Amino acid sequence: MDSRTLWIFTIAGSALTLLCLYGVVKADRKLFLSGLCYFSILPIIGESMGYSADKASVHVIVALVFLAQMVLAFPSKIEFGADNTAAMKLTGKIALALLIFNIGGIIYIFCLHAGVPRRFGCFHIAQSLAILYIIFKRMSGNGPVWVKQ
């Protein structure tokens, strides 16, 4: 990747990670999910570029993982309350899946030395911490109260 592309990815990744964190702080579900969903586009593009350069299948796998994150985090206007137990259990599983995807991104960048700049791993750390915060807040009994849209 050339330096101009790295800067574009860094600026977009920073903005979308900040949007995700801002959504958690303001308890705005749509902002949180928008940040996660649209951030997922960046690894998909980056891994597609990596695959076109060296044809390694790991790029396809990573791109598919973040495609799954994009689909799971797509912000919808569907609202439900704590009285819908099926939806509450499903959101817990989705949050866990999103956490695992981002922890996988951290491992891929920091431990497997994939050639991805470490600053992109920091974005995954911030998003993982945001998801962990939401999971812990929900498990404490007074789950995150999202602002009504």
Instruction: Kindly list the domain boundaries of the chain, sorted by start residue.
Output: 3-139
What pTM, to 2 d.p., does this model score? 0.88
**Count of C-beta atoms within a 10 Å radius of residue 108:** 21
C-alpha to C-alpha distance for 73 and 36, rounded to whole angstroms: 6
pLDDT of 12-48, one tens digit each?
999 999 999 999 999 898 999 999 999 999 999 999 9
The three-state secondary structure class of 13 is helix
Residue 86, token pair as written in the block: 């099926």
pLDDT at 101 over 90: yes
Q: Is the dihedral of CA 38, 22, 5, 52 positive or negative?
A: negative
Q: What is the pLDDT of residue 115?
A: 84
C-alpha to C-alpha distance for 149 and 134, rounded to whole angstroms: 19
C-alpha to C-alpha distance for 56 and 12, rounded to whole angstroms: 25
Q: How confident is the model at residue 145 (pLDDT cuts 50, 70, 90)?
A: low
Q: What is the pLDDT of residue 147?
A: 60
Angle, vertex CA 144, rays to CA 142 and CA 147, nearest 5: 130
C-alpha to C-alpha distance for 74 and 143, rounded to whole angstroms: 20
Q: What is the pLDDT of residue 124?
A: 96
pLDDT of 80-92, one tens digit each?
766 777 877 888 8
